[in-house]
Amino acid sequence: MTELLQYWPEFLTVVVVHFLAVASPGPDFAVILRQSLCASSRSGVWTAIGIGSGILVHVTYSLLGLGLLIAQSTTAFTVLKILGAAYLLWVGWQCLKAKPAASAADVNAELEEGESAATAWKAWRLGFLTNALNAKATLFFVSLFSVVISPSTPLWIQGFYGLWMTVMTGLWFTGLALFLSREKVRAFFRKISHWIERVTGVALIALAGKLATASQS
């Protein structure tokens, strides 16, 4: 416990930096917005859990020192960028194909159908891949574990930082999903749900382009 208290200032820095990164708009926010408003609260929550699980990937390779290798290797970084951008393009294209419902009853029917078709696994996979394939997240965690977190910090404490960020990311997006999927919020956006999907699609495609042109510096 005494050793943990010794690193309290560093931990607070990690908490603040991580919160600012999670709260900023990006691919994770875009997919949560789409899933919560246009699919269901269940899909939104499982997508949030998937995003949190994706953080574990970044934390693991950062602890193993592989993140620095990826960031410094032009080939590895480029492959990661292409995979991430391609996935965001695919998700964005699916959103762009959304069609308007003829009536409120049709909207409810589509949501019920989506609930049975979009399984927890698919929603989790969407969140996980969106986060894990984000090359900009790779750069963030490499910077975090090489600049903010001291190399002399014990590995188990670094692991605690990583676990904290994983759990807090999942909770943040779960809370966001539950808020956005509230009946009053959904009712407000229900008639324009197809436009929400299309705008989300445009945003994801734009983010894919930004990711594809991201530099290692």
CA distance 52 to 181: 19
Token look-up 């705008």 returns: 199
Tens of pLDDT, residues 21-44: 888 878 898 899 888 887 778 889
The 8 Å CB, 24+ separation contacts for 149-155 are 149/10, 149/14, 150/10, 153/7, 153/10, 154/3, 155/63
**Average pLDDT, integer, range 45-59:** 94
**Average pLDDT, integer, range 53-74:** 80
**Average pLDDT, integer, range 185-206:** 68
Which range is least confidently modeled, 9-18, 41-50, 89-98, 150-159? Answer: 89-98
CA distance 140 to 215: 12
> pTM of the full predicted structure?
0.75
